[in-house]
Structure 1
Amino acid sequence: MTAENTSAPDHLADLHGEVLDAMSRRGPRHFAKLAFVLADADDPADADMARFRDRLLAADPGDELLTLWRRKLTAWDFEQSPTWSATTAPRTAERRAEIYDKLAFGADLRKALDAAVPVHEEAGPVTISREFEPWYTREQAANRSFYWTSYERLLRRKGWSDAAVSSLDEAAHAVVERLADPTRDTPYGARGLVVGYVQSGKTANFTGVTAKAIDAGYRLVIVLGGTLNLLRGQTQRRLDMELIGQENILGAADPNDPDALVGIDYQDDEDWPAKFVSFGARPSLLGAFDIERLTSRDRDYMALERGISALEFEKPDRTRPLYEPANLHAARARVMVVKKNKSVLEKLVTDLKKIGPILGEIPALIIDDESDQASVNTTDPKKWEDGKVTRTAINGQISKLLKLLPRAQYVGYTATPFANVFIDPGDEEDLFPRDFLISLPRPTGYMGVQDFHDLDTIDGGEGEAEKKHVRGIYYSTGDRLQEALDAFVLTGALKLYRENHGVASGPFRHHTMLVHESVRMAEHAVLAERIETMWHNAAYTGPEGHARLASLFDKDFHAHADGSLPTPATYADLKPYVSGARRLINQGGGPVMVVNGENERDYAQPDLDFDRTPNVWKILVGGTKLSRGFTVEGLTITYYRRTTQQADTLMQMGRWFGFRPGYRDLVRLYIGREETLGRGRNAKTVDLYEAFEAICRDEELFRAELARYAPLVDGRPQVTPAQIPPLVAQHLPWVKPSARNKMFNAELVEVRSPGTPIEPAAYPVDSKMTARNTERWKPVLAALSGTSTTCLLLPDDTSPLSRSFQAATTVISHAQLLSVLSSLEWEDGNVLAPHLAYLSQLDGRLAKVDDWLVIAPQRTQRNRIEATVVDQGPFSLFRRSRQSGKLSFGRISGLEHRLYAQQLVNQPDSASPGDSSPVLGAAQGVVLLYPVVEAAQDDEVKAVAATGAASADRVTMAFTVIPPKAAIDTKQQLVRFRTKDSTRPDAVIVKAF
């Protein structure tokens, strides 16, 4: 039962709070015994378990006792590898049962708690880590938790659920425990990477990490906060508001003295001071330590005007190093948020050098937000001279920081990790996450991949997610830009309607639309002018405009409305709110704002500052700067038509991912389904939605593979971060995981090609190697000898008529083909290796291929030169030319031969009446085999024509292999990579399977 008088003391909740506090350091213990010891002698009934159970059964959601247990049980449920449990996994019924056992709770009480606090079984963070020395225990974390406790309280005030807070606690703890102990004698700098989702709250995670790290003893925190002041300022404000707090910002200034506040941050911020965390007094007066900011909201790091004293650390005992506990825990922490800019970082490096030997004593933490941008060294290793690494500007400055601070820990944060995991692990001064990689879970309430892509549909048809949120742009139906503008107005009106019908107004402070078609600034201006014209001609106040809005409301927004949120039954009920939405969008100089520029001043637009501007209701037109790091608040309508060939660039453009409280059913993505990639002869039409889906699959597969290898085996990691790159996959061939200049250390480890030709072009020049390769084909050539088949090519796009050619054919087993291909030698690295990794699994592990139809085409009688090859045949010889200065031939298979083979693969088990061509089964593949002589070797060709025998060292057995379409598993990944380690060129990399 709940307390009837809320002002009366709640003895039961007070007692349970004391008991649970006593368990904070050592985990669950016998509850009744501890409660009996702590219970007030005047009220021993407070320790009665039956009274506790009855209270739970009758409790309201806000009951204080229920709140205490919900928080504690959730924290214990989520805890990774606690000292009090060596057997149960977090977030499982088994873990909860173990907790109850240790608490010595009976069946009735367990049942009541399970009903009140269900086990959260959603996945937690996934960690790939090297073995590390444990130092940051839960007990130690509880002993020093001033800033973390403050941050945790703030999150709860913001409405975070117990599960969300515990999940953040768990993930932040996992990062900090893998950093080096700040009090250790021997310095060590850990390198790690935290992978979140695009716009999923990574800042909250590294704020939690910072809080826990400074509580534990880290005294210099450098946050690399993006490449623009706009982004850096966002991060600074967030840390100031949620971690550093009012008292540390004000310093010694009297908050009640206006003169003392001149020049201090946030005096013009509408959230100051109410929403900024407050400790009640300076932390140093409360037994903790203060934080000194070396950057502010509007000012990046500057050369220290008041001398180097700001970076000098006070030591009560000057005879001991700073990192000893007696000195460390009395020292102030320094925090700075620094833009990734060469000159800014140079100033910081210069100032640090002035400090001298104490640099080696400072436990420092460097957090790199969007760590795959600017931080990665993109200089081609081929350009390095005499083993000296050439570094890009930002990468070089970060490397200098890490050298200057031997106790610095580096933790990168990104949603697109592929560039980071392709860094050379052997480059000790670079940023490869050698110690750990942590993949954060998808947060509750987050709109992401699954909300826009139906990844589980089998036939590729439109699924529920696509119907609700995605609107394709096809050439045949027009560009739909007017419809997108109408949707923006409608959703604005729906937000105003919901505000007026009981939905909290907080989530609807901003309402935005993003239009992203090009990276070219000139095109942005033209597009913005076009949108302005469309807006003014839209007639939103007249009958034509209302008719258009009513039609769109009925067929789209009303049809897909969330039934739990207020939505008008008819457009007539919504119509009064349309004028209000239009007015808000049109305020401040019009509906459109262009977001681009060549320098910082171009981004100093008041309406871009979502923190300081009360209401941003705007259509944002822009390019790259809107696609990385920058959070577009209130984003509801996205109009997207820009192509790129890099998965990480494409994924970072997904600004429509994020949290949409109270309006997720209103979110719409207008995306190009027929967009042009490239120019001129190289231009091709691509499907942007398909591309996004492919990279979403890449990302989901990468996370799934991390989860697969994360569990320890016999207490040891299955894989380390250096073995992660083979887990990177590529589903769509034209979308690479990262930009070319970030993939110098990446090499293919596997290429899957169901139904697609595998055709090596670079064959050996060395005659002895060529002869050995030709001999290895002898059993296949023997089986082909003496056969002749008419291969009928059916009419297709290339020709309205049937064509045919003659060929020798045979069928060989999968094992026989694999044996031949695996034995071949290659001059400049095994060009077939990534394909062999795939073909070797078609014995039933990945898919089952029974056998292969081998086709050795014959040239027309007029052009035919026949010869025996290794005493088999005769066969038609094909003349091919190598590319200038290369091992590669310009082409191998003939067009008609390849089309014929592709028809067999595309339509297995089919044949026309009277057709003598082979029939291919669904579990059969095709091999086209060509004895090739180089066109430049005219003497050899003439000799062959005269003798009818081709020398094995002069014939290159070239081939094309087309696996059956069914030769793939349900994951559909196509490409895998690994990273070259310059210090371990022959190292074994984790197997792909």
Structure 2
Amino acid sequence: MSQPSNAAEQNITNALISGLANFAETPTRDDVEAKAKQLADIFGYTGDMRGIVTAALISVDTRMGAGVSLVDVAAKHDDLWVRKREDIEWTYSNAYEGFLREDGWPPSMVTSLGDVTGRILGLLQDPHSEGTSWNRRGLVIGHVQSGKTANYTSLIARAADAGYKFIIVIAGIHNNLRKQTQERIDKAFIGRSSDPEDRRNIGVGLNPNYPHPATLTNINEDFNKNTATKSGWKINDFSKPIILVIKKNVTTLTALHKWLKDLNAKGDGRISDVPMLLIDDEADNASINTNKEDLDPTRTNGKIREILSLFAKSCYVGYTATPFANIFINPDAYTDEVREDLFPRDFIYCLDAPTTYFGAEKVFLDEESSQNIVRPIDDCENFIPFAHKRDDKLPELPASLYRALDQFIVARAIRNLRGQTNKHCSMMVNVSRFVPIQRAVRDFLSLREKRIREAVKANYRMPESASSTNEYMQGLKRAFDDEYSAAGFAWSEVKAALHGVFEHLHLYVINSKSDEVLDYGRYEKEGVGLTAIAVGGLSLSRGLTIEGLTVSYMYRNTKMYDALMQMGRWFGYRPGFEDLCRVNLSRDSINWYAHIADAADELTQQVKRMRRDGLSPKDFGLYVRSHPDSLLVTAANKMRSGEEITIEQSFSGVLIESYIVSTDVNANKDNFKLVEELWRQGFGGRNEEETSKGFIFRDVPIGIVEAFVRRFECHTNFSPRKLDVLNYIEQIADHRLEADVLLISPKNGTGGGDFVLRHQARAVGEDQPVGTAWLLNKYRVASRGDEGLGLTDEQREEATQFAREGKAEQLARKKRDSKDEGGEVSVSDAHFRMVRKKPLLMVHSLEPKGKQIPGPVAAFGISFPYGDSETIKAVVNIVWLRQMQGYGDNPDDEEDYDD
């Protein structure tokens, strides 16, 4: 059956979603299918309805909370000024919301976006406010690939309606990202293509009498000296807003500053009558540790500050998904003036992710969904080692990468069977920062794809007895059996659909040295879904949206929070194919992603707690800077040689666990003897209470907990962290007089006995450290939810309330049928930590699976409550940093930076 055009499918989808919005209650699948059939009859639509029904079901189930803000409580700012301004005509924002609805956004999401950006606008200054000079500095924290661009575009539209006349968007450090952002702004705000050869109205500009803003940048040209010279324009030459989309580098920022100063500043060197908004997308990117002159973070941030200082009335809003960034973590890298000017002293706004967001929670933290999505890479080191060089020879690709290619081809076939032929479908391969290696990888994949294509062409209609003799068909069948046998189709159906996969399949190398472009828009115009395999490095790692990303293969060795999270291009929205997505990573990366996801959740909970307690952004900045995880980010930015550095750290609201444990038999015997001794004594004469997963002793003197940690024989590599814990306990012991002790001993565990813990079975990851060490998966000892054991009903309810705050509309459904009543709100250990008033010591007995490591093994963790202001001095050197980071992923060595 021939496929309908994208336009026809989109039109009926939009009509269906709009019709469903009028239902008094959430429609069931039967309701949606009945309404879809009714509309198809009216429109005379004969195409495949499966994708349309799926999109509508996701639409009615998508919700987004209001998020939470932390504002400077001492500032005299009226955040209700927007409501009080009756003169605002919402021309740009109404056009943008209409554009989103026509683009298929669920009506509830469009409404939520408008509500959220209306709140953020209220945190900016009223551009019509009295006063000759003012400035505001803020930060918006979102999620990777979750719609930050849509959020700041909505904010731009609202700010323009309110009276902001000059708007700058700093869109990362790469040409392809700047171009992508320019194209989006063209459609969503300017309303006219900025392609010099195609100046037609597009997007919002299709509305009659749309007041097009002006721009001095286009899809091909960033702002530069030639642009400024050719224009000869001044800001006040325009009655409508002006918007620029620029890269974050010194040359561009210098050219812009010169133009603004030479042509627009008055005698006092300032621009006094033009309210200005600067959006800094990927605000953390300036923290990157590079010696490249044009990307120097100090000079870059200095130029941003200089541009802001030219305007008497300015607002700076940074957007980031990784708030362990320069504004918090690297206070010594800039002068006091720069740091003060860019720090978000006025507000921090944490965005909620929509219910349909495919994020770190699903990919790494939820055990059930993580097992379905994540696949460990164990064979890449022998082919493309972490520490390879740009001129290394690549003899072949690892088998795991070829398996990922098979996954992708089968997944595309299933998506086609689901009626998603017109939707884009992509695979990302990120295994090297070097262009020559990227090209070699593409060549190998291209050869393999050609052979699979030929095998499919010859066999897709053949009986299984014949096709199963072909080695490439065998690989595809294995991918189906191992990954997708529960996807709703038999192998015979998938095999028949394989031939259609290759019709629009193309391979790309994406970096600044390549002229290949992932031009999804070109295919959309033709009503075609592109099937793309994108091989790249840093250009794939930050900001660039890969449409319909279904299979990812990444083997990169960095533990920098911002870099690692930004490499996660698999986060985003996967309507109708979330179950087909696969993420192939090294085991070390899997562990670190899980750890970072927990840390990011902690930060969001801290914002909520600080808002409740009436604190300000500066307090959050202090919290992040003193967070234990800041050590890695700070050290990497500061340490240029072998010197030691000292960092002030706090463990307030933090869980510290012995994630690397000793497998020495005698050490574990001594540790279990220590547990037995204190258990027999009731940990200072306290009564033992049973929990659902072991035993708890309440109100144990803090000195006994300190003695336990001090006497516990940990692995040498954990010794510095153990010392930090002891120092911190000593710091807080004057007011934290007691702690709870939780002995984790699950009823279904093995072993056990009088004063002997039952064991928890744990998998042993590949590539364990040499010697008597066991590095635990995801760097976690406790299971999720363990910190809630022993809490009172009142405390559990309080933790649930924290989880529910701002998320009343986010009770996500795991099933979309008429029987589903909605899922439970997810309460994390960070929420439990918020309601505890005492430290919690958790003790474990771990039984390693297999014979690789002798067991049982003793481990512990200690969870500190929020509210302590004490800090300790943590000292690290370059040896520690190398242990934490592994092989360097130094941006100075990157070959795909823009010239």
> Shorter chain as normaliser: what TM range?
0.5 to 0.7
User: Which of these residues, 428, 434, 437, is aligned with residue 345 of structure 2?
Assistant: 434
Q: Is the 8 A contact 1:695 1:731 kept in 2?
A: no
User: Which of these residues, 263, 280, 283, is aligned with residue 368 of structure 1?
Assistant: 280
Q: State how far apart, in whole Å, the 2-side matches of 1:232 and 1:647 are.
A: 23
The answer for the alignment partner of 1:410 in structure 2 is 316
Q: Which moved more, 1:623-632 or 1:533-542?
A: 533-542
Shift of 1:849: 5.8
Shift of 1:346: 1.4
Shift of 1:594: 2.0
- 1:836 aligned partner, one-letter code: N
Question: Quick check: 1:400 aligned with 2:346?
Answer: no
Q: State how far apart, in whole Å, the 2-side matches of 1:971 and 1:814 are.
A: 14
Aligned to 2:132, what secondary structure does the other structure show? coil
The answer for the alignment partner of 1:593 in structure 2 is 508
Q: State how far apart, in whole Å, the 2-side matches of 1:482 and 1:159 are.
A: 35
Q: Is the 8 A contact 2:287 2:330 kept in 1?
A: no
The answer for the alignment partner of 1:235 in structure 2 is 181
Q: Is the 8 A contact 1:422 1:745 kept in 2?
A: no
Residue 797 to residue 514, structure 1, CA distance change in 2 (3 Å) = farther
Aligned to 1:848, what secondary structure does the other structure show? strand
The answer for the alignment partner of 1:610 in structure 2 is 520
The answer for the alignment partner of 2:584 in structure 1 is 670
Shift of 1:740: 2.6
User: Which of these residues, 105, 108, 112, is aligned with residue 167 of structure 1?
Assistant: 112
Q: State how far apart, in whole Å, the 2-side matches of 1:815 and 1:796 are.
A: 22
Aligned to 1:337, what secondary structure does the other structure show? strand
Residues 354-373 of structure 1 deviation map (CA, whole Å, 9 limit, x = unaligned)? 22226122110000111111
The answer for the alignment partner of 1:20 in structure 2 is none
The answer for the alignment partner of 2:39 in structure 1 is none
Question: Counting helix residues as a fraction of each chain, which structure ranks higher?
Answer: 2
Q: State how far apart, in whole Å, the 1-side matches of 2:112 and 2:635 are.
A: 30
- 1:404 aligned partner, one-letter code: L
- 1:130 aligned partner, one-letter code: D
- Pairs aligned (count): 626
The answer for the alignment partner of 1:700 in structure 2 is 601
Matches within 5 A, 1:514-663: 514-538=428-452, 539-541=455-457, 542=459, 543=467, 544=470, 545-559=472-486, 561=487, 567-568=488-489, 570-585=490-505, 591-597=506-512, 602-606=513-517, 608-614=518-524, 615-663=529-577
Q: Is the 8 A contact 2:324 2:630 kept in 1?
A: no
Q: State how far apart, in whole Å, the 1-side matches of 2:175 and 2:742 are.
A: 60
Q: Is the 8 A contact 2:165 2:241 kept in 1?
A: yes
- 1:227 aligned partner, one-letter code: I
What TM-score, normalized by structure 1, do the two folds share? Answer: 0.56
Shift of 1:968: 2.0
Structure 2: gaps spanning 5 or more residues: 1-15, 27-58, 382-397, 460-466, 670-680, 685-700, 711-720, 744-770, 775-780, 782-840, 845-856, 875-899
Residue 237 to residue 754, structure 1, CA distance change in 2 (3 Å) = closer
Q: State how far apart, in whole Å, the 2-side matches of 1:164 and 1:795 are.
A: 59
The answer for the alignment partner of 1:346 in structure 2 is 254
Shift of 1:407: 1.3
Structure 1: gaps spanning 5 or more residues: 1-59, 71-116, 251-261, 284-289, 315-329, 381-389, 456-462, 562-566, 586-590, 674-686, 759-792, 799-809, 823-829, 852-895, 900-905, 907-921, 926-962, 981-993
The answer for the alignment partner of 2:703 in structure 1 is 815
Question: Quick check: 1:310 aligned with 2:233?
Answer: yes
The answer for the alignment partner of 2:220 in structure 1 is 298
**RMSD between aligned residues:** 4.8
Matches within 5 A, 1:840-851: 847-848=739-740
Aligned to 2:85, what secondary structure does the other structure show? helix
- 2:234 aligned partner, one-letter code: L
Q: Is the 8 A contact 1:308 1:351 kept in 2?
A: no
Q: Which moved more, 1:158-167 or 1:359-368?
A: 158-167
- 1:421 aligned partner, one-letter code: F
The answer for the alignment partner of 2:375 in structure 1 is 471
Residue 636 to residue 470, structure 1, CA distance change in 2 (3 Å) = same
Residues 632-664 of structure 1 deviation map (CA, whole Å, 9 limit, x = unaligned)? 112111112211121211111101111112221
Question: Quick check: 1:968 aligned with 2:880?
Answer: no
Q: Is the 8 A contact 1:492 1:511 kept in 2?
A: yes
Aligned to 1:180, what secondary structure does the other structure show? coil
Q: State how far apart, in whole Å, the 1-side matches of 2:290 and 2:511 are.
A: 24
Q: Is the 8 A contact 2:427 2:534 kept in 1?
A: yes
Q: Is the 8 A contact 1:313 1:332 kept in 2?
A: no
What TM-score, normalized by structure 2, do the two folds share? Answer: 0.61
Residues 257-282 of structure 1 deviation map (CA, whole Å, 9 limit, x = unaligned)? xxxxx945455xxxx64x45433015
The answer for the alignment partner of 2:693 in structure 1 is none
Matches within 5 A, 1:119-268: 123-131=65-73, 132=75, 133-134=77-78, 136-140=81-85, 143-183=88-128, 184-246=130-192, 263=196, 265=198
Residue 118 to residue 208, structure 1, CA distance change in 2 (3 Å) = closer
- 2:222 aligned partner, one-letter code: D
Question: Quick check: 1:691 aligned with 2:592?
Answer: yes
Aligned to 1:513, what secondary structure does the other structure show? strand
Q: State how far apart, in whole Å, the 1-side matches of 2:301 and 2:232 are.
A: 27
The answer for the alignment partner of 1:333 in structure 2 is 241
Question: Quick check: 1:281 aligned with 2:209?
Answer: yes
Residue 722 to residue 704, structure 1, CA distance change in 2 (3 Å) = closer
Residues 199-228 of structure 1 deviation map (CA, whole Å, 9 limit, x = unaligned)? 111000000110111111110001111212
Q: State how far apart, in whole Å, the 2-side matches of 1:897 and 1:580 are.
A: 53
Residue 436 to residue 603, structure 1, CA distance change in 2 (3 Å) = farther
Residues 537-588 of structure 1 deviation map (CA, whole Å, 9 limit, x = unaligned)? 44344422333323322342132x2xxxxx42x1111222211112322xxx
**Greater RCO between the two (CA within 8 Å, min separation 6)?**
2
Matches within 5 A, 1:828-977: 835-838=726-729, 847-848=739-740, 965-969=859-863
Q: Is the 8 A contact 1:705 1:727 kept in 2?
A: no
The answer for the alignment partner of 2:331 in structure 1 is 424
Aligned to 1:281, what secondary structure does the other structure show? coil
The answer for the alignment partner of 1:497 in structure 2 is 417
Q: Percent identity?
A: 28
Shift of 1:171: 2.0
Aligned to 1:359, what secondary structure does the other structure show? coil
Residues 671-692 of structure 1 deviation map (CA, whole Å, 9 limit, x = unaligned)? 222xxxxxxxxxxxxx221111
Shift of 1:748: 2.0
Residue 240 to residue 121, structure 1, CA distance change in 2 (3 Å) = closer
Aligned to 2:312, what secondary structure does the other structure show? coil
Q: State how far apart, in whole Å, the 1-side matches of 2:414 and 2:426 are.
A: 14
Q: Is the 8 A contact 2:427 2:552 kept in 1?
A: yes
Q: State how far apart, in whole Å, the 1-side matches of 2:283 and 2:576 are.
A: 32
The answer for the alignment partner of 1:356 in structure 2 is 265
Residue 742 to residue 446, structure 1, CA distance change in 2 (3 Å) = farther
Q: State how far apart, in whole Å, the 2-side matches of 1:334 and 1:837 are.
A: 53
The answer for the alignment partner of 1:786 in structure 2 is none
Residue 840 to residue 972, structure 1, CA distance change in 2 (3 Å) = same
Q: Is the 8 A contact 1:697 1:731 kept in 2?
A: no
Q: State how far apart, in whole Å, the 1-side matches of 2:89 and 2:646 are.
A: 42
Q: Is the 8 A contact 2:655 2:863 kept in 1?
A: no
Q: State how far apart, in whole Å, the 2-side matches of 1:571 and 1:119 are.
A: 31
Matches within 5 A, 1:480-495: 480-495=400-415
Q: Which moved more, 1:362-371 or 1:146-155?
A: 146-155
